[in-house]
A and B are shown apart, each in its own frame.
Chain A
Amino acid sequence: GQSLEQPSEVTAVEGAIVQINCTYQTSGFYGLSWYQQHDGGAPTFLSYNGLDGLEETGRFSSFLSRSDSYGYLLLQELQMKDSASYFCAVSRLTGGGNKLTFGTGTQLKVEL
């Protein structure tokens, strides 16, 4: 089978750094993506890791370790507008084609 695990909720203060972890178990793993979704809105793409290591995009960074089946999203200099749900998603190659499977999401609350 396959599974993705991420914490359901994380709380942090404005200006701080927060790390959202994601562990996965899946066949045909190809890469790990991160998406942000504000309440009732459309998910938006944040980052993709196809290779081990760190990818940095502004205040956001994402990390992947294939050997540990683990990744994380790092958010720096937190702002109130970062309060949202964050989803990790695994890309996998299957007999039926290419699929993107999402985790259940981590709700991030940024407080003053």
Chain B
Amino acid sequence: DGGITQSPKYLFRKEGQNVTLSCEQNLNHDAMYWYRQDPGQGLRLIYYSQIVNDFQKGDIAEGYSVSREKKESFPLTVTSAQKNPTAFYLCASSIVSRTGLISNSPLHFGNGTRLTVT
């Protein structure tokens, strides 16, 4: 079955350490995204990528970094510069329409990684 795999489901780190969250998809989607969700909040866009070797900052990119070396993979690194890293991180993917627009394409989400930094 096609889908998006995020690992691990739970992650614990000490303050000051960088940590990388994995996201892999086998849906053959061109676009991939990282969102952060805090309790009782909506999803906030961290980074997104519409094509391999290219990515764009979202609304809250500070303290995060990404890479897109392969179509299937879009890992997110939470750096020590991120002031409040404890959150639920969701990866998603979508197609890019023939017009190049991704706005109207449904997002397919992974099951998320819950990161706790102490």
Contact = CB atoms under 8 A, between A and B. Distances in A.
Contacts of A48: 104, 106
A7 interface: no
A87 B106 contact: no
A42 interface: yes
B45 interface: yes
Given A42-B111, A44-B109, A101 B59 contact: yes
Contact of B40 (A35, A45, A91, A104): A104
B56 A100 contact: no
Interface string A2-37: 001000100000000000000000000011010100
A40 B109 CA distance: 12
Contacts, number: 68
A35 B33 CA distance: 16
Given A87-B42, A104-B40, A104-B41, A99 B103 contact: yes
Interface residues of A, number: 29
A98 B111 contact: no
B75 interface: no
Interface residues of B, number: 26
B107 A98 contact: no
Contact of B43 (A31, A45, A87): A87
Greatest chain B CB density within 10 A among A40, A99, A100 is at A100
B9 to A, nearest CB: 10
B104 A30 contact: yes
Contacts of B45: 99-101
Interface of A: 4, 8, 30-31, 33, 35, 40-45, 48, 50, 87, 89, 91-93, 96-105
